Chain A
């Protein structure tokens, strides 16, 4: 079946630098995308979402970019901080279908 996946399993970033986490999806019908952050021992926490009628959405220190042509999603974190260290998941759905999660990228921030 169709699935959502991530390009890189781990990412190490120097504190203060920008981070970019990538995600590829295969379901062309997907119209809603979410980035979640999951810290050890906790449930996934919503970061930012974007719908398919948009290319870019910005939040506080985070930006999500959506390229529907190549079915690619990215999460940019500005001025990465130690508290950003976690596993990041992209998830997608269409209509009322359940959220499908990718495998996750572990972000490690080097102080």
Chain B
């Protein structure tokens, strides 16, 4: 079974630029999460989708972050404009449903300079 795929693996941008991350969850998984993991900390949820609907985006900085899952499969996370404090690993995860095991991708390491 293929795992959660994320791209790119690494991205370096200057502050005030925009960036987008892509996630392809495990086939058949209805729930998709985006987490932000700052160095030395645990992952922090940004947004949770159930199929193509948003379940929880309470911790998403909506002035600069946006995410979509239009067809209920792949998802993109965008940051515009980026700030230095956005430097982190952005992890995508998926699960069959809300309260079952979530599988994580390898993440995208973003460095904002």
Interface size on A, residues (CB 8 A): 24
User: What are the residues of chain B within 8 A of A104 when measuring CB–CB?
Assistant: 41-42
A34 in contact with B101 (CB, 8 Å): yes
Question: Given A44-B93, A104-B41, 15 more contacts at CB 8 Å?
Answer: A41-B106, A43-B105, A43-B106, A44-B43, A44-B104, A46-B101, A96-B97, A98-B48, A99-B102, A100-B45, A101-B42, A101-B44, A102-B42, A103-B42, A104-B42
- The B94-112 residues at the A interface (CB cut-off 8 A) are 97-107
Asked if A89 lies at the interface with its beta carbon under 8 angstroms from chain B, I say: yes
Could you list 6 examples of A-B contacts with CB < 8 Å? A32-B99, A43-B105, A44-B91, A96-B99, A98-B55, A99-B33
Distance of A96 Cα from B93 Cα, bound (Å): 15
User: Mostly helix, strand, loop or mixed at chain A's interface?
Assistant: loop
Residues of A within 8 A of B48 (CB): 98
